């Protein structure tokens, strides 16, 4: 069902533009306020010239089509879009607590309760997406935002907007790709289970499991599923068990998302509200 916001023909005049939130290859994201409702949003401004140059117009149309129909507390809303001569504007939900990866950088790694709470809410969001035949939501930390109540929001449109201090492995990171994508065979919804396993590892250890200096080494470690658990920080065997059941080369053998939610590590550590309160 589409709301009034979906139908309205928005223009730039409908908004007061605030500070830049992030900038990147295709344009910038600004804090903005819709004048009539005083509703705070994030306005993503993309340059048509850039989109044409990189032949991503069709990808943008597909992503906007998908994103505007997804309604889930852990998926950033796309309220609408509009364009003028030179730019395309996406009207997005504003996540008040910003980017998760900055939080992860600040505290190196998360507690098991915090990690489990985030993984559970992402599993629920992915179950919702798969139910609508939407896969590969590209859930690396750069694409995760935090709402006002501390809830996680998947905020990706197939490419990310790079904020000022980019993550070292941001550009073209292979870290999150599962074997079938690295070996570029067709992929199914199970790719998201793999990425969730990578994310769980990174939440607990502060680095992705197959990180290496050279891309060729990361590639080899992924296809060999060269999974090692450091001795520090100390992580429970239940957490390692869950990660080991998600990072499985044969995508059909990965723990299904609904089984992730039933895993003892999640049941014992995740806050049922999906919000980590510290």
Ligand X SMILES: CC(=O)N[C@H]1CCN(c2c(Cl)cnc3[nH]c(-c4cn(C)nc4C)nc23)C1
Instruction: Give the interface with ligand X as residue ranges (CB under 6 A).
Output: 21-22, 29, 42, 44, 92, 94-95, 98-99, 142-143, 145, 155, 160-161, 163
Task: Tell me whether residue 22 or residue 274 sits nearer to ligand X (CB atom).
Answer: 22
Q: How far is residue 198's CA from residue 209's CA, in Å, rounded to a whole number?
A: 7
Smallest distance, Å, CB 161 to ligand X? Answer: 4
CB of 145 to ligand X, least distance (A): 5
* Two tokens, residue 223: 């296809």
CA separation, residue 71 to residues 144, 174, 234 (Å):
16, 29, 37
Cis peptide before 233 (omega within 30 of 0): yes
Under 8 Å CB-to-CB from 263, ≥6 apart: which residues? 238, 241, 242, 245, 255
Tell the smallest beta-carbon distance from residue 218 to ligand X (Å): 21
Catalytic residue, from 138, 217, 241, 250: name it.
Answer: 138
Contact between 261 and 269 (Cβ < 8 Å): no
Is 138 known to be catalytic?
yes
Give min distance, CB of 129 to ligand X, in A: 17
| Residue (21 or 266) nearer to ligand X, CB | 21
Structural contact between residues 40 and 33, judged by C-beta atoms closer than 8 angstroms: yes
Q: What six digits make up the tokens of 8?
A: 């309205």
CB of 76 to ligand X, least distance (A): 6
Q: Which is nearer to ligand X, 98 or 206 (CB)?
A: 98
Give, as one character, the DSSP assignment of residue 162: P
Tell me whether residue 92 or residue 193 sits nearer to ligand X (CB atom): 92
Helices 190-205, 237-246: axis angle to 10 degrees equals 150
Nearer to ligand X, 121 or 190 (CB): 121
For tokens 């750069």, the residue is: 142
CA angle 209, 230, 243 (to 5 degrees): 50
Nearest residue by C-beta to ligand X? 22
Catalytic residues: 138
């Amino acid at each position: 069902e589409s709301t009034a916001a979906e139908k309205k023909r928005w223009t730039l005049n409908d908004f007061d533009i605030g500070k830049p939130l992030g900038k990147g290859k295709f344009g910038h994201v600004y804090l903005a306020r819709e004048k009539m409702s005083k509703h705070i949003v994030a306005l993503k401004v993309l340059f048509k010239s850039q989109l044409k140059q990189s032949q991503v117009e069709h990808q943008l149309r597909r992503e906007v089509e998908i994103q505007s129909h997804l309604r889930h507390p852990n998926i950033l809303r796309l309220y609408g879009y509009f364009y003028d001569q030179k730019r395309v504007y996406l009207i997005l939900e504003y996540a008040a607590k910003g980017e998760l990866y900055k939080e992860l950088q600040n505290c190196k790694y998360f507690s098991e309760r915090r990690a489990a709470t985030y993984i559970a809410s992402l599993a629920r969001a992915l179950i919702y997406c798969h139910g609508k035949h939407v896969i590969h939501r590209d859930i690396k930390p750069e694409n995760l935002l935090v709402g006002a109540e501390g809830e996680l929001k998947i905020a990706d449109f197939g490419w990310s907007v790079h904020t000022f201090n980019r993550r070292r492995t941001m550009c073209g990171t292979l870290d999150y790709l599962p074997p079938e994508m690295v070996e570029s065979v067709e992929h199914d919804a199970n790719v998201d289970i793999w990425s969730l396993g990578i994310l769980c590892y990174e939440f607990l250890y502060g680095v992705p499991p197959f990180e290496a200096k050279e891309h060729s080494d990361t590639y080899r470690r992924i296809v060999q599923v060269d999974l090692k658990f450091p001795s520090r920080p100390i992580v429970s065997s239940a957490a390692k068990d869950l990660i080991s059941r998600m990072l499985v080369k044969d995508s059909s053998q990965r723990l299904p998302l609904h089984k992730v939610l039933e895993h003892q590590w999640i049941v014992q550590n995740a806050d049922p509200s999906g919000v980590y309160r510290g």
